[in-house]
């Protein structure tokens, strides 16, 4: 078997460093949000942790490099500095969006599950790298296992650790899709 002609299931890029950055970002957010859930920290403390986690992810090579214009064959390519700012803003925005809707039983996890299923369909139809399909499927599976315990009346709550993880995961996986 010729290794040069073998199919690379993960696309044209090496995803080891990107996944390491993703997991380090999750670890940073998890520690800070656990402290917030148990003792409470100021909102600026969580924002700093989100910025640091997003910066780690960007430093490990995950970034928004271009945007496809629907119904046209055009792409808008970004300069590196703008790509970094846009990516950090995207990660923080999606993370906080999921965190802010976590007020009712099953709301944030239900919306995230709908997003995961939608992204899975899009990824499959657009022949995205298998790593993005695997990660979004794993996230959806975790939510399906958790959601019955989080419906009203909830027996288990997601907390800031869970809601920040869901938003962070959605934002990163949607960027990995384009790799």
Question: What pLDDT is recorded for position 73?
Answer: 79
Tokens of 36: 């917030």
Task: Band the pLDDT of 13: cuts 50, 70, 90.
Answer: low
98-119 per-position pLDDT tens digit: 999 988 888 999 999 999 999 9
Say yes or no to pLDDT of 11 above 60.
Answer: no
**Residue 152 — φ and ψ, nearest 5°?**
-70, 130
46-67 per-position pLDDT tens digit: 999 999 999 999 999 999 998 8
Task: Band the pLDDT of 4: cuts 50, 70, 90.
Answer: very low
137-161 per-position pLDDT tens digit: 999 999 999 999 988 788 888 999 9
Question: What pLDDT is recorded for position 10?
Answer: 53
Mean pLDDT of the chain: 89
14-36 per-position pLDDT tens digit: 789 999 999 999 999 999 999 99
């Amino acid at each position: 078997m010729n290794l040069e002609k073998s199919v690379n299931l993960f696309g044209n890029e090496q995803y080891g460093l990107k996944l390491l950055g993703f997991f380090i970002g999750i670890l940073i957010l998890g520690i800070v949000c656990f402290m917030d859930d148990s003792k409470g920290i100021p909102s600026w403390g969580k924002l700093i942790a989100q910025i640091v986690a997003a910066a780690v992810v960007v430093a490990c090579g995950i970034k928004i490099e271009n945007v496809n214009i629907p119904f046209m064959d055009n792409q808008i390519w970004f300069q590196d500095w703008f790509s970094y700012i846009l990516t950090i803003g995207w990660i923080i925005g999606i993370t906080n969006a999921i965190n802010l809707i976590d007020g009712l039983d099953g709301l944030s996890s239900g919306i995230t599950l709908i997003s995961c299923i939608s992204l899975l369909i899009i990824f499959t139809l657009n022949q995205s790298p298998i790593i993005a399909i695997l990660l979004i499927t794993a996230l959806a599976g975790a939510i399906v296992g958790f959601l019955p315990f989080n419906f009203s009346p909830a027996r288990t709550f997601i907390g800031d650790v869970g809601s920040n993880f869901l938003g962070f995961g959605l934002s990163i996986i949607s960027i990995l899709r384009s790799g």
